[in-house]
Structure formats: structure tokens, C-alpha cells
Structure 1
Amino acid sequence: MTASPQPFTFYAAKNPRAPKVLTVGGNREVVFDDYLASNESVAFLIIQNDTIQYEKYFNGYEQSSVVASFSMAKSVTSMLIGCAIADGLIKSVDEPITNYLPELKDNGLDNVTILHLLQMTSGIEFNESYVNPFGDAASFYYGRHLRKYMANMKPEVPPGQRYQYTSGNTQLLGGVLEKALKGKTITQYLQEKIWTPLQMEYDASWSLDKSKDGLEKTFCCLNARARDFAKLGRLYLNEGNWNGQQLVPAEWVKESTKVDTSQGSASHYQYQWWLPSQEGDYMAQGILGQYVYVNPAKNLIIVRLGKDYGKASWQTIFRTLAKNY
């Protein structure tokens, strides 16, 4: 994806309300900057009311450094599914995925819907282990034949009976999206629907399984910068509206980020977004501690990118910081 020639930039606070210390372990105060650096952070932004209150980079990274989203890309995939429904390319979340991936009928996946994939309730067999070199997650991440791997997926339990977080669900969403786009690539669609309208500051890329006729790894691997990740949070903070232009349907944003277990989904996960509480906040999350946290009640966005989680409980930190704004 290419950057905008006229990028949107957040305001810089004249008198930033930047945290100086952080209380951890119940009552121990630590210097905020030092805590972020020592816990493997590479970028941390706090944005309220479109104004940057805190922005720092660590461990050799800077504003222009590219960071892999890992599973934060799942939330972006969900955005694009919402766009595709609005564009009439996909009828609804209740459609069977075999309407787009008919080869899966022979595998017994006739009853799996797009909704099941979004909510991680498909019941599809998938080994999510990140340490097992022979697991499905490793094959999807390192392999060069995603379409083949997807065509071999089979049910483990009937859909709608259990929540189980697996990257296979999101990659199947990518397969559905690819077929719905009818020749346009997922990267091209992201450029058209999100990257260009959001006036991104930097170029970005979505990793493919192979260079020729490759398929986007929609379960992971959107490569971008911290400020542009923050704009994805701003888009949802404003209910899919970007400076007067409705890019993602407001109802889709609402459905994606509300606590709802009526269809068998988990209370902490909805439409590829994590729900850290029942108070309206939500976040995109990736392995090694990549986060875009959104708190609508405080009109607040926090981006944390890292080499690892460190020893920090980032969800707790985000909610603690939000209370102070």
C-alpha cells in the first residue's frame, strides 16, 4: 500500500498529559519511560481527542520504523469483510463459507458461516501452537501454499458450540474475501477502502504466502508504522467514519466491538476484536505484544508495539492509563 500525498496527522499537545510514573505490583512506582523500554517496547502512543499526549520509541526504533502487526491484522480483515458486505460483494455474515469456497463442502464444512469465522466458533480443527514447528500455525505462517492448506481444513466439532481462537478462521475469511473480490487483491481492496481514505503517512505491506499469485496472510503480518496503526483505531473510535466519510458501516463497528455471547461467542472476543472489559473498550492484539487499544468513553487510543510482551500486563496498563485521562 502507498502513503497519502496529503497525510492526516494527529495534533501534538502543547502541554502533553504524559504519564511520568506507573504503579505496578500493587504499590511500586516505576518511571514510565524506563518501564516501557525494559519491557521490550519499541513504540508507545497515547492519543486523546485527536491529540498526541505521549509518543516515544525505544530499543533503536523511531517513528518511521516498520513493525509487523502479527494478529492485529485479524481486526483489519474484519474491517474489510464489513466493507465487502456494504459493497454488496458478500451478502451477509450468515452466508455459508462454501458459497465462496465450495471445495470445503467435501470436508464437511457446509454449515460453517462467515459469522462463525468472525467469532472463532467454527469448530474447525486447527493447531494454534506457535512453538510446534509441525503445527498448523507454523505451516500457515512459514508455508507457501495457503490455498492448499485451507482446502484441507476439516471440522473438529459442529460450528457454534465453542469459542476457540485459531488463525485458521481468519485465513478462511481471507479466502472468502479473495473470492468475493473477483480478481482484485485483498491488498488492493485495503488500499482503496482504508489506506487511501485514512490518509496514511507511510507505505505499508501485507505479507503474502508467495511472490507469484500469492495470497495475503490475513491472520497476520500487516507491516506498518505506529502512527498509521493508530489511525485504524481512530476509524473505529469514530464508528467507521473518517472526517465525514463513512468507510466502514457504523453498525458493523458496533457489532464487531460489543459484548455478545448470544451466538456462542466468547464475552471477550467479537468479530476479530478483543474486549478487555464489559465497559465498551476494545483492541486489536498481536503476538509479542502488538496492540491498538480504543476506549470510546475517554475518546482515547493507545498503541503499543514491541519485540515481546516483557513482564507487563498490557491490558491492565491500558485500562489504568485510561482512568487517568
Structure 2
Amino acid sequence: MARRDHQDSRGRTGTRVALMCAVIAALLGGCSSAVSLPEERPPAEAIREDIETIFSTLYGEAAVRAVLVQQHGKLVYEQYQESTAQDTWDVRGVTRAVTSTLIGIAIDRGLISGVDATLGQLLPDYAGVLTPETAAIQLKAVLTHTANFAPMSEERDIRGTPADLSAQADWVAAILADRASRGPGDGRFLFSDPGTHILAAIVAEVTGMSPFRFADEVLFDPLDIDTAPLWEERFSPDGDPQELLREYQEAEVAWPADPQGVNLGYTHLRLRATDLMRIGQLMLDEGVWDDEQVVSATWAVQATSPVVATVGYGTIAYGYHWWVDPQRGMFYAQGEGGTAVVVDPVRDAVAVIASEVTIDDPRGNHGFASATAVGLAALLLADLSSDSR
């Protein structure tokens, strides 16, 4: 299969040092050339011990539940802690990459004209909320977080949903109204989970079904991801969040929805670690799974390539809801609490780390764990040979 061009590998030792710097930066707030690091990293088994040590330090007990590494389409490392391959986890922010892929499939199928389509064209049911300015927002701007939707509120309720949003009867209308009041902004990168929920609303609008059911038909089924029984109960401002949370935690594959039935585009998709591996492998292989083009190669490459520069994330760029590290030739999706899918096309490999820490866990900072998981997954990939298959 033809693959995209990447920068040449900087050498095994140099790459490992750089990747260790990424982990140290996450843990200590920075990495300079004066840091002394061993030239040789331990094998995967020893790195697994590093993972356990770091997460036990962060949270007082081990939080990592699954670590998988796959190269050339074959699993080369797999370990579970207090879990099995069949257990599902709230993958949190990795949900965003799934939502983006559904947009790509909808474009492939002609349900969306392309990334230049506007919100006015894509959300006709919300014409009454859209202003001329917000109606003209292009899909590409929402995909790249450059449309000035509000950043995620730090105030969250027990569900991990912004308290000011979960109280609304119509989340999509509230998000669009808030965006109108904010104005167009300066076009720079501003990470926005409410903006990602608008993507899920677009999927629902153009397909006539919930994002979860569309995903089950066009993405999960082709990837042999078992979703039965499909759980997508709706949040309600009048409902009992504790009861819904209990039901959600007892479900297998699950994806809760807003009061209108739009699954939360930015979070709370429950999947197995092996399911995350399949999604990473799909993007690595430019949209192909088992000789079937599940999402077009055009979309798979564009989504995982640098499209816009980020603000506050160093040299990391952003595609269509995938983070992109041009220096290392990697792209990844990360979930708050320590879940990551890191893809390394140079080594033809994917690493997955699934963790149990939730956004409302009192033990630690979920964003801190997310960055750490990405760095550790990259370390595991650095131990693999860069020989082409």
C-alpha cells in the first residue's frame, strides 16, 4: 500500500532521547538539552514497569488497565492489569477522533459536500439560532478548532459534562447561541469540546440517525467491533445523573447522548483497548481494513496531517481532530485520564494505553495523565525497529 512521505528517522538513540524528553516535560514542566538521559532504553517489559510507577505515583494506585503495541498489523505486546481484553473503558477524548472519522465517511458517501460546507447548509433545523455570521462557518473550521466555539468549562458535574451545558434542554442550540455571542474570534486554534459536539450534531442531521448508530453501521461493523447491546441513553436536565452514571458504567460498548439524541461527540464513548487499536490501524493504513476502504484514503491522510498550528502545545500541530507531531512523524488521539492511541507510520506501528482514571477522579489531574500516556506510548513505539515491512 502506498504510504505518505515522512521525515527520515533521526536515529534510534536520538528518537528515544527526544521521546523521553516529552515524558519528562509532561512530568516536570520542561526538557532542556542539559538533561542527562541513558542512550539505551529498556525493553517493553521494563517500560511497562515505568508506566505502573508513574501512574501509581500520580494516583496512589495503578490506573493503567491495558497496554498494546502492534507493528505490521500484528500484535507484538499486550498486557492487562485488573482487566481483560473484553473490558470496555470510557475513552474520553479519543471519542473526538471517532466523531471526525464519521464526518469523513459522511463526506465519502456524498451526505456532506466537503469541508467547505457551512453550518447553515449542514444544520437547517437550527436556522432560527444561527446568525448570518455563524451560518457561514465552514466545517473545516470546526474540525480544526478555529471557529471560536467556547473552550470546555472547567466547572463539571459528576458526568464530566460542563455544568452550564448539561443543564440545557437543547445542547446544540445552546452551543450555537453561545458561539454567536462570542463573535468570530481571530481564527486561531482554540480547543473546544462544545465545537466537537456540533460535529456530532452534523452527523445526526445528514444521516438521519444517531452518530452511534451511524458508527455501528459504517465504522464499527466493518472493523468487527462488537457493539451489542448498543447503549445510548440520553442525558436530561431533569434526570438523575447518578442513576444514568451507574447504568453507563455497567454497559459494555456505550455512548450517551444529549436530550435530542445526539451522542456526545467529544467524550464518553466506551470501547475496548483492542477496539482502539483497530481504529489506530485503520488510520495507519489510510482508511483500509481487511481490504475494504472504510473511510477514503484522502480523508485518512488529511485528518492525520498538520492542518493548523496549535496555541500552547509547542510544535504539535492539529489535523481533523487528530493531534500531529511532525518532528517525530506520529499522530495521536488522547483521552483525559490517561488513554492514548499513538500511530507511528515510520515504524508501521500503533500503541494503545487505556486507563481507568475519570475526569472527576479526586486523585489527580486527568489532563496530566493524558499527556503522560501519549509520551509513554511513544516510548513503547521507539523500541520497535523502523524497518519497513
Amino acid at match of 1:268: A
Query: Aligned match of 2:289 in 238, 242, 250?
Result: 242
Q: Contact between 1:230 and 1:302, CA under 8 Å: does it hold in 2?
A: yes
Q: C-alpha offsets along residues 182-220 of structure 1, whole Å, 9 cap, x if unaligned?
A: x2221221011111111125642221124xx52200111
Residue 106 of structure 1, CA deviation: 2.8
- The CA distance in 2 between the partners of 1:143 and 1:62, in whole Å, is 37
Structure 2 residue 275 is matched with structure 1 residue 216: no
Deviation at 1:289, TM superposition (A): 1.5
**C-alpha separation between the residues in 1 aligned to 2:281 and 2:157?**
37
In the alignment, which residue of structure 1 is the partner of 2:75? 52
Q: Distance in 1 between matches of 2:285 and 2:215?
A: 19
Q: 1:171 and 2:197 equivalent? A: yes
- 2:346 is the alignment partner of 1:297: yes
Given candidates 42, 52, 67, the residue that maps to 1:37 is 52
| 1:141 Cα deviation from its structure 2 partner | 6.0
Which amino acid is 1:273 matched to? W
1:176 Cα deviation (Å)? 1.3
Name the amino acid aligned to 1:46: V
TM-score w.r.t. length of structure 2? 0.69
Aligned to 1:105: 130
1:79 paired to 2:101? yes
| C-alpha contact 1:45 1:303 (8 A) present in aligned 2 | yes
CA apart distance, 1:275: 1.2
| 1:160 Cα offset (Å) | 6.3
- Following superposition, the deviation at residue 315 of structure 1 comes to 3.0
Question: How many angstroms apart in 1 are the aligned matches of 2:96 and 2:222?
Answer: 20
Q: Secondary structure of the residue that 1:152 maps to in structure 2? A: helix
Deviations 1:262-291 (A, max 9, x none): 899x85211000113434311111111111
Q: 1:95 aligns with which of 103, 117, 124?
A: 117
Instruction: Indicate conservation of the 8 Å contact 2:351/2:380, yes or no.
Output: no
CA displacement 1:159-192 (0-9 Å, x = unmatched): 66210111011101111111111x2221221011
Match of residue 319, structure 1, among 365, 373, 378 = 378
Aligned residues of 2:287 and 2:296 also touching (Cα < 8 A): yes
Residues in 2 aligned to 1:149 and 1:164: alpha-carbon distance in whole angstroms: 18
1:65, 1:225 within 8 Å by CA — same for their partners in 2?
Answer: yes
Contact 1:137–1:167 (Cα < 8 Å) also in 2: no
In structure 2, what is the equivalent of residue 10 of structure 1? Answer: none
- What does 1:178-197 align with in structure 2 at a 5 Å threshold? 178-181=204-207, 183-197=208-222
Is the alpha carbon distance of 1:318 and 1:179 closer, same or farther for their aligned partners in structure 2, counting shifts above 3 Å? same
Please show how residues 252-263 of structure 1 align to structure 2 within 5 Å: 252-261=299-308
CA drift at 1:140: 4.2
How far has the Cα of 1:133 moved from its partner?
5.3
TM-score by length of 1: 0.81
Post-superposition Cα deviations, 1:7-59, rounded to whole Å, max 9, x if no partner, equal: xxxxxxxxxxxxxxx9786349794333323412111111111221111112x
Change (3 A) 1:132 1:201: closer
Q: Is the 8 A contact 2:324 2:331 kept in 1?
A: yes
Q: Which residue of 2 aligns with 1:8?
A: none
In 1, distance between residues paired with 2:194 and 2:294? 27
Aligned residues with identical type, % of pairs: 23
Q: Does the C-alpha gap of structure 1 residues 103 and 305 become closer, same or farther in structure 2, counting only changes over 3 Å?
A: farther
Alpha-carbon separation, structure 2, partners of 1:65 and 1:139? 32
Deviation at 1:238, TM superposition (A): 0.7
What's the CA shift for 1:240?
0.2
Deviations for 1:238-269, whole angstroms, at most 9, x for unmatched residues?
100112111101011111111233899x8521
Partner amino acid for 1:195? F
SS in 2 for 1:302: strand
**Aligned residue type for 1:146:** W
> Aligned pair in 2 of structure 1 residues 245, 65: CA closer, same or farther (>3 Å)?
same
Which among 146, 150, 157 is matched to residue 121 of structure 1? 146
Q: How far did 1:158 drift?
A: 2.2
Q: Say if 2:341 and 2:374, in contact at 8 Å, map to a contact too.
A: no
1:75: how far off? 0.5
Instruction: Judging by fraction of residues, say which structure has more helix.
Output: 2
Q: SS in structure 2 opposite 1:216?
A: coil
| 3-state DSSP of counterpart to 1:275 | strand
Equivalence for 1:4: none
What is the distance in 2 between the residues matched to 1:290 and 1:81? Answer: 23
| Root-mean-square deviation (Å) | 3.0
Gaps of 5+ in 1: 1-21
Question: Per-residue CA shift, 1:214-234, capped at 9, x if unaligned?
Answer: 220011111111111110011
